[in-house]
Amino acid sequence: MVVALVLTTGLHWAALQTVAWMTMLTDNLHSSSFHDAVAETFDGRHPCCLCKAIAAAKKSERKSEAVLPVLKLESPPHIEQITLISPKQFSAFSLEGLFADSSFPKPPVPPPRAFQV
């Protein structure tokens, strides 16, 4: 259930994007200062190959959702008059013998006790 919720809300893309940003940040830290590495990672002008793949996958996912046809709920045709026809031979069943008797006898009733005052 959690996996379905994550997939429908798009949290898997956010998790992948976070991994991509952290990878880019660590790669950029090797070649420049912290301020420059953060700026280059999050400016959007220097996407890595994982960022490009995530963007393409998000775009194709949106396109496939838009292609789905809208289905219309149809009801069965309306019948003006319903006629019930009884069978030619009808016999009522007796309920006798349909239910099993209790196999346990009722408990004996104890004799009344005398009240002592």
For 51-73, what is each residue's pLDDT tens digit?
888 888 888 876 655 556 677 77
Stated length of the chain: 117
Residue 11, CB-side half-sphere exposure with 13 Å CA sphere: 8
What is the average pLDDT across 10-35?
Answer: 87
- pTM of the full predicted structure? 0.46
Rounded distance between C-alpha atoms, residue 3 and residue 69, angstroms:
26
Task: Please give the C-alpha separations between residue 48 and each of 21, 28, 40, 58, 117, in angstroms, as whole numbers.
Answer: 9, 11, 11, 16, 99
Q: How far apart are the first and last CA of the chain?
A: 70
